[in-house]
Amino acid sequence: MSKLRIGIIGLGTVGCGVYKTLADFPDIEIVKIAVKNINKPRSVNTPEGMITDNHYEIINDSSIDVLVELIGGVEPAWEYISAAIKNGKHIVTANKELLAKKGEELFNLAEEHNKVCLYEAAIAGGIPIIMPIKTILAGNNINKIQAILNGTTNYILTKMDVDGASYEDVLKEAQELGYAETDPTGDVEGYDAAYKITTLATLAFKKRVKLENVYREGITKIRKEDMAQANEFGYKIKLIANASIDEDGNADVRVHPMLVSNDTTLAHINYVTNAVAMSGHPIGSIVLSGPGAGEFPTASSVVGDILAIQAEFGTTDYMLPMMRCHHEHRANPVHIDDTYNKYYISITAPNAIGVIAKIGTICASKNISLASILQREVSENNTADIVVITEKCQERLIKEVVSELDNCVVNSLIRVAD
């Protein structure tokens, strides 16, 4: 059998991990690696002439069978991938943003040219999730996903919980350790997790979910006080990528902080670990967890995709049919205001007679029941900290409650996981 010849675009952390891992597979040949800066120091030593800054040396090389794209972002990644498909190459990518924003266009182009596009590394790093959904779980009707898909935010929230530290202090520490970027917006504002849940929900529900219909909220407003109060009620606060679909195809897909019960697995997924919990029939409920990023965990998923292509390369005219995209219908998006949740509300209120009664009255006027209410001792400025957890109610109604809490400061409004 002839070697599978691949070209790699991008030789950063993941690219170096892929290069090192593929050294153990003699039937795969890395022909060329394209980078932006040839002179940048790297953790691998490549043969002379293998690295180029002309990406089209890979794209236009008819002897290369697979393009491995590891640079991220929409452009120029889309330019390179689309050109490579048209030039007869299969694709392996770890690009969650490209999949979320141009996935439909990408898979249609690949199908038009009878090419495979695999992307196991794009959703949960080293956790195998795409191929299991496409193969061993294919007979299931998956209707719910709750996942921790971003290691940076999970690290920050875990440190805030364990150390009792503020968001700002932990973020600075995470940046110094390399867990957070200098500009952490993509992680801490929930963009990264939103990209991932868009593609994951599309796959699991077998209906297209559009990124613009995914509600997104980050962790920047979470306070150390919230972490402590959540613990008292038996919860941990996590950034959860949440997706559910009903029998009519109405999909509620969102990313935001949630109070997660200590009785669940997700509450104990700490630091940079990721996890995906899924429910459906006939499987019931399962949880997959592991490293969501890093050199070798992500390389593991990339190399797995390359080997899947190698296993069928040259043996059939239509490779890996189960791994291809066949989503003909779109999910009906559910607006966040129309969702039903339990809520944690932290309120600073004047220490006056009837304040708690007023909170209860406003909630009752919206048919919202209270599950728990806790008042702290009065502070020096004669205010009291009150924490309320509601029963399940509609989002738009809880917003009306917040707007009617005159003379009160709502410090936090966080949804509570089922």
**Active-site annotation, residues:** 196
- The HSE-up count of residue 301 (CA atoms within 13 Å, CB side) is 28
| Tokens, residue 48 | 């002379």
Do 105 and 125 touch, CB atoms closer than 8 A? no
Q: How many Cβ atoms are within 10 Å of 240's Cβ, its own excluded? A: 24
User: Which of the 8 DSSP states describes residue 208?
Assistant: B
Contact present, 197 and 243 (Cβ < 8 Å): yes
CB within 8 Å of 196: residues ≥ 6 apart:
96, 100, 122, 123, 124, 147, 149, 150, 241
By CB atoms closer than 10 A (0-12, 13-18, 19+), residue 17 is buried
Cis before 350? omega within 30 = no
Q: What angle do CA 105, 15, 295 make, to 5 degrees?
A: 110
